[in-house]
Every structure is written in C-alpha cells, then in structure tokens.
Structure 1
Amino acid sequence: MTDAREAADVDDVARALALIDEATIVADTSSLILAASENPGGTELVAVRVLESIASRLGGRSRRSLVAPDRPNLSIRFGPDPSPEAPGVLILGHSDVVPAGEGWAADPFNPRVADGWLTGRGATDMKGGLAAALQAMAAVHRVRPELPLELLVTVDEEDLATGIQAHLRADEGPRDAYRACIVAEPTDLAVVIACRGAANLQVEVRGRAAHAGRPEDGASAITTAARIATWIADDHERMRAGATGLLGSATWSVGRIEGGHGTSIVPDRCTLLVDRRLMPGETGAEALAQLEAGIGGVLGDDGCDAHASLLMEMPGFETAPTHPLVAAAVEALRAEGAAAPVEAWTAACEGGFIAEHHGCPTIILGPGDITGQAHQPDERVRIADLSAAARAYTRMLIHLHT
C-alpha cells in the first residue's frame, strides 16, 4: 500500500468513526428487542420489519426471501452488489432468539438500560450485533460508497438452521463474490477463528411391551437405549482423549431421553436426542454413520432394534491465524482498547455454511458474551461493547477493501 493510500484510509476511517453514534445503536437494539422473535414458538417477521426500517433510515437496500410463512431471510446491501470483480464483505446474523423462559426480573421483551448495560432477550444473541453492524456499514457507505457491503440475516438459526440452508439453495450468484465473512455473534469482543459444526441426531429404539410382572415376555427399549447412551458417553471420552489444536475434538452429548408408558409396562419405545459437535470438514452424514456403527455394536438379541437419523447439521470452519482478515480484526479491536484475543468457539454458528459455500475466510466477532449472558434470564449486553463492536466493524470494512 502506498503512503498516499494509507493516509487516505486513515482519513476515511476517522470520518466514518465520527458517524458512529452509541445512542442510536442502543435505540436500534432496543427496537429489535421489542420485536419479539422467539424460536421455536414464534416468527421472525416483526424483527425483520424493524431491520428493514433501520436499513431504510441508514440508506441500505433490503430484500426478503421467504423461507416459511412469516419467516423471511433478509439481505441488506450498501453500495454496489458484490461480484468476483469487486468482492464484498458479508456480515452474517440471525433474527430469531431463544424463548424467554422463566426467571426474568422484568418483561424480557421490554428493553431496560441501567448502569451501562442493556437488558432484554436478544440483547446479546444477537440483536445488539445486528444494530452495531448496520451502524458500521452505513457509516462506511457514507465515506466509501463504492464498497460492496452486505448484511445477511437468517431465520431459524436457533433451531434447525432452515434459513441459511434455504438461502444457499436459492443462491444463484457467483460463489466468489465475498472477500470475507464476519459473523456478528457475541464473542465478548474476541476474534474467533475456529468453530466446530453441529449435528442433531435422533435415535428411535423399538422393543416389545409386556406386563412388568413378567419382563422376560417383553423387550425393554429403555434398557437398550441406556446401552446406546453409554456407548455415546464412552466414545465422547475416546475423542476427548485425542484432542489437539485450537478446537480440541468432536464431542457427543445426549440431550434428551423419552420413552415408556408407565411403571407396570415394559417399554416398547424410547427416543434419544443427541448433539454431536463436528470438526471442520466433518459432515453430519459421517457422524450418523459413526453412531449407527456404535448402535450396531451394542444391540443384543433381546428383541429390540434401533434407527438413527440426522435432523440438522451445521458445518464448522477454521481460518488461519495469519490470515489478513484476522490481523484486521485484531488491529481494529486493539485500536478500540480491547484485548482482542484470538480464540476458538465452543458453540456452533452458521459461519461454516458461508465458509463452505463461498470459500471465503470467516471469523466470529461481536458484542456480548455467548456463555455468560446469552440464552439466560436477564440477558444483557454492555453498551460500551456495542459501540466498540460498531467501531471495530467500521475499521475492518475499510481496511479489508484496501
């Protein structure tokens, strides 16, 4: 980069940062919290409408793509459309939130500001990140209108990921239209460069009912399910024992077991819901085959059988720590006084879909703490972090285009 170009970039960053307004980010995040979009149990439409209103005010172009009734994905673009000749930066987010649940000190969808924090369902995961991203994109567009910028907001991220999968199926554009993807999920302002994928699996065990007074006349689906759960736990420990690198290893976890009819009946059915975290490059089909092999090894001759199926999968991703995207993120955060650690994520996100489909480097970076604040009563985000995230995005969007 020439000295003149460097000086111009510094000037552009300064002018764009001057347009970042913390109060507006808080107001926009609050409007999105008010637009309750619980999943499962609701729709994202009201939140999408708020996002469209914010985008219109900021000069963005919105386009909906219906995934299911009242559940539209939303693309918001600033500047020209991204293309292989002029690749853009994609910021990825989702409009749904997990159900509010019990234990809140006040109405979870009535945003509250106190002591430097904004509280409400979605404040951290991830309506604060969406508001910060939109503010940054609009500021950069004012200064550099020739830059192609896009915010993709999907539905159903918190459940079955039908939104991102529908988006990729319908995508007819060039695969190499993006130079980078930033997932605005809450990372507590760390730079997450590696993320395991996730597969949701189901095991249906079928046995034979009988009177509990003569259990030998039946075949207990619960007993067989317990052997399968034991195999899953043992295989989890096997994988963890071989953990290496930033991501460690894949994992297994049985999240739910349901079966039987009553105390006096030998159970003829039992269902297990299983979480399998995937390493980058590993597929849900591979995890399913591994589970099927394990089931085959524990089934006996007691009259039970079992069938496993794949309900949902998200691919993982890993970006090299030396990639310019990572350097830009670290530099941008440190310029805002953040420590900017480079980490792996224990959660899963939709960034792996984008990395796989578009072949672009991907990171996760956003305000809020995924483990300490998201998916909990009185979910909250530090207001200073909303502003710091918007300012870091602003720096990155300009630096990544030089």
Structure 2
Amino acid sequence: MSAGAASGQAAAVEAALALVDGATIVADASALILAASENPGGTELAAVRMLETIASRLGGRSRRQLVAPGRPNLSVRFGPDPSAEAPGVLVLGHSDVVPAGDGWHADPFSPRVADGWLTGRGATDMKGGLAAALQALAAVHRARPELPLELLVTVDEEDLATGVQAHLGEPPSHYRACIVAEPTDLAVVIACRGAANLQVDVAGRAAHAGRPEDGASAITTAARIATWIADDHARLRAGAFGLLGSATWSVGRIEGGHGTSIVPDRCTLLVDRRLMPGETGAEALAQLEAGIADALGDGGCTASAALLMEMPGFETAPGHPLVAAAVDALAAEGREAPVEAWTAACEGGFIARHHGCPTVILGPGDITGQAHQPDERVRIDDLEAAARAYVRMALALHDAG
C-alpha cells in the first residue's frame, strides 16, 4: 500500500470516528427500550418503527419483510447495495426482548441513566447494540459513501427464530463479513454452537395403581429415555476438543401422568441439544430417535420425537482477516479483545450458512451477568466503544478487499 493510500484510509477512519457520539447512542437505545417488544407476549412493530425513525435520521434506507402480523424483519442499508463486485459488511441484530418478569426496582421499559449505566429491558440484549451499530454504519457512510453497509434486524430471535428463517427465503447476498451485535462484553467470539429444541412424546397405557402391571407407565419409559440422554451427554463431553468443546444434551422439562393412583399413559420431555458447527437438527433428531429405540424395551409404551427449532452454529478461523480486524479495532480503543467461543447460541450461524460469509459476535453488554435479568443494564462507555469498533472494522474489511 502506498503512503498516500494509507494516509487516506487513516483520514477516513478519523473522520468516521469523529461522528460517533455516545450521548446520541444512549438516546437512541433509550428510545428503543421505550418501544417495548416482549417475546412472547407482544409484537416487535413499535421497536421496528423506532429503528426506521433512527435510520432515516442517519441517512439509511429501510425495507421491511413481513414475517407475521405486527412482526416485520428490518433491513437498513447505507451506500450501494452489496454485489459480487462490491461485497458489503453486514451487522446482525434482533428487535425482540424477553419478557421483563419480576424483580425490577423500577419500570423495565422506562430507561434510566445513572452512574455510567443505561438500565432497562433490552439495554444489553440488544437494543444498546442496535443503537451502536446504526450510528457506526451511518458514520462510515458519511466518510466513505461508496461502501455497501447493512444492518439486518430480525424478529422472534428470543423464541422460535421465525424471523431469521423468513430471511433465509430471500436470495443470498454478497457480504465480506457478518458482525453479530449480541452482547459479548466486547470479547471477539469466533465460534458458536448451534441449538436444537426437541420434544419426545411417550404413550403408555393407563391402569389403576393398585394393579400397575395392567398398564404401561409412560413416565417410567420417559425416565429411561432421560437416562439415555444423560449417558450420551457424558459420551459427547468425554470427546470434547477445541474452543467449543462438544455438543451437549439437556432435558429441560418433563410432564406426564394424571394423578397418584393412575398408571400414567402419557409423558412429554422437552430436550435441548447444542449443535457443533456443521451439525444439523435433523442429525440430532436421528440420534435421539435411535436412543429412544434403545430405551423403549418391551414395556408396552411407544414414543416419538420431533424437532421444534434449529439454530446452526458457526466457526471462523482465528487467522481470518475478520478476526484480526475485530481484535485490532478493540485494541485501538484500549480494550483487551479476548478471542473466545460462546456457550450460548445466536442467529449468526444462519447468516454464515445462508450467505457464506465469515462471522463473529461482538457487542456491548454482558450476556450472562445482565441479559434476561431484572434491572438489565449496559455500560455507556461500552456502547460508544462498540460503535467505534464497528467503524474501524467496517473500514478495515473494505480496505483489505
């Protein structure tokens, strides 16, 4: 690179960073918190409308994709549309939040700023990240209007992921990279397991508990299936390796029977299966079905399993330019920038698979200490640092080609 080109790139970075304003990010994040979008329990429409208002003020152009009544995905683009000749940088987020629940010291949807923190449902997961991303993309656009940039905001991320699955019905586009703005406490997450939610229904035969041999206990059979799940989980963990370790099984709920004196003729298990990158929910379902066949025995019960939801995982090589851009961007902001894997799941795997683009997760807020909890909050300094990091990443990725 010539000295002149390097000087021009540095000038663009400084020009864009000068447009990042922490107070405006807090104001926009507060407006998004006010636009309550609990899921389940409501719609994301108010939050989407507020995002459109912010985007319009910043010079972005918005497009909705209706997923269900009152539940539109939103795409906000700056600059030209991404193309094979000029791939874009995509930032991914979601507009819904989990229900507020109990235990708050004030109204969850009345944002509060105090002692360097913004508090309210969604402050961390992830309306703070959305506000930071929008301002960052707008700042890059002002400095380099020829660069294609996009923020994709899905609905229903916190429940069934119907929003991102609707997005998969659209043709793949051309992106250099995807940055998922979920809260990572500003760590660079390069690997993320996927998740599959499965349901097992066991059918038995009711009888009087005084003669249990006349019936077939669905609960006893379900217990054998749960034991198989625990044993297979231990097998998977024994083979753990790399950043992500291994796939996992967990029985999250079991429900069955009618009363103490009745042999239960039904039982249902809800099962969580964490997926390794490249592994599918269909594969996990097939494994579970094989385990059910082993566990049924000749007790007179039958069982079936179904896949309720699948979220794929992803893994980006530590040496990829996207990872370097993220680490360098955070280091320039005086942040440690650890490179990590996530034990949670996110929609980044859908994007990586559908668009074929490298993906990282990087955002303000603490996923384990703040998200989904009463008095959810995010550090205001982290909101601004995230926006500045997104600016540096977008420019570095485009300049690297």
The residue type equivalent to 2:325 in the other structure is A
Alignment pair present for 1:262 and 2:259 = yes
Q: Cα RMSD (Å) of the superposition?
A: 0.8
Residue in structure 1 matched with residue 345 of structure 2 by the alignment: 348
Preserved CA contact (<8 Å) 1:94 1:126: yes
Preserved CA contact (<8 Å) 1:176 1:360: no
Structure 1 residues 171-250: aligned runs within 5 Å: 171-172=170-171, 175=172, 177-250=174-247
The residue type equivalent to 1:345 in the other structure is W
Residue in structure 2 matched with residue 41 of structure 1 by the alignment: 41
Q: Give 1:176 shift.
A: 5.2
The residue type equivalent to 1:243 in the other structure is A
Residue in structure 2 matched with residue 283 of structure 1 by the alignment: 280
Q: 2:333 aligns with which of 333, 336, 340?
A: 336
Unaligned runs of 5+ in 1: none
Q: Secondary structure in 1 aligned to 2:168?
A: helix
Supply the distance in 2 between the matched residues of 1:120 and 1:328 (Cα, whole angstroms). 31
The residue type equivalent to 1:89 in the other structure is V
Preserved CA contact (<8 Å) 2:52 2:62: yes
Q: Secondary structure in 2 aligned to 1:277?
A: strand
Supply the distance in 2 between the matched residues of 1:357 and 1:119 (Cα, whole angstroms). 35
Q: Deviations over 1:229-265 (max 9, x none)?
A: 1111111111011100010000011111111111121
Residue in structure 2 matched with residue 308 of structure 1 by the alignment: 305
Supply the distance in 2 between the matched residues of 1:288 and 1:132 (Cα, whole angstroms). 38
Preserved CA contact (<8 Å) 1:185 1:367: yes
Preserved CA contact (<8 Å) 2:82 2:173: no
Supply the distance in 2 between the matched residues of 1:37 and 1:259 (Cα, whole angstroms). 33
Number of aligned positions between the proteins: 399
Supply the distance in 1 between the matched residues of 2:352 and 2:167 (Cα, whole angstroms). 14
User: Which aligned runs of 4 or more in structure 1 are off by greater than 6 angstroms?
Assistant: none
Q: Secondary structure in 1 aligned to 2:195?
A: strand
Structure 1 residues 56-95: aligned runs within 5 Å: 56-95=56-95
Q: Give 1:376 shift.
A: 0.9
Residue in structure 1 matched with residue 373 of structure 2 by the alignment: 376
Supply the distance in 1 between the matched residues of 2:310 and 2:357 (Cα, whole angstroms). 20
Structure 1 residues 9-20: aligned runs within 5 Å: 9-20=9-20
Supply the distance in 1 between the matched residues of 2:132 and 2:95 (Cα, whole angstroms). 14
Alignment pair present for 1:296 and 2:289 = no
Q: Give 1:119 shift.
A: 0.8
Q: Give 1:80 shift.
A: 0.5
Residue in structure 2 matched with residue 394 of structure 1 by the alignment: 391
Supply the distance in 2 between the matched residues of 1:271 and 1:346 (Cα, whole angstroms). 26
Q: Deviations over 1:65-96 (max 9, x none)?
A: 10001000000000000011110000000001
Alignment pair present for 1:327 and 2:361 = no
Supply the distance in 1 between the matched residues of 2:292 and 2:114 (Cα, whole angstroms). 52
Q: Give 1:301 shift.
A: 1.2
Q: Give 1:381 shift.
A: 0.6
TM-score norm. by structure 1 comes to 0.98
Supply the distance in 2 between the matched residues of 1:347 and 1:5 (Cα, whole angstroms). 41
Q: Deviations over 1:29-75 (max 9, x none)?
A: 11111111111111111100000000011000000010001000000
Residue in structure 1 matched with residue 359 of structure 2 by the alignment: 362
Q: Report sequence identity in percent.
A: 84
Structure 1 residues 100-139: aligned runs within 5 Å: 100-139=100-139
Q: Give 1:373 shift.
A: 0.8
Q: Secondary structure in 1 aligned to 2:398?
A: coil
Supply the distance in 2 between the matched residues of 1:147 and 1:303 (Cα, whole angstroms). 65
Q: Give 1:400 shift.
A: 0.8
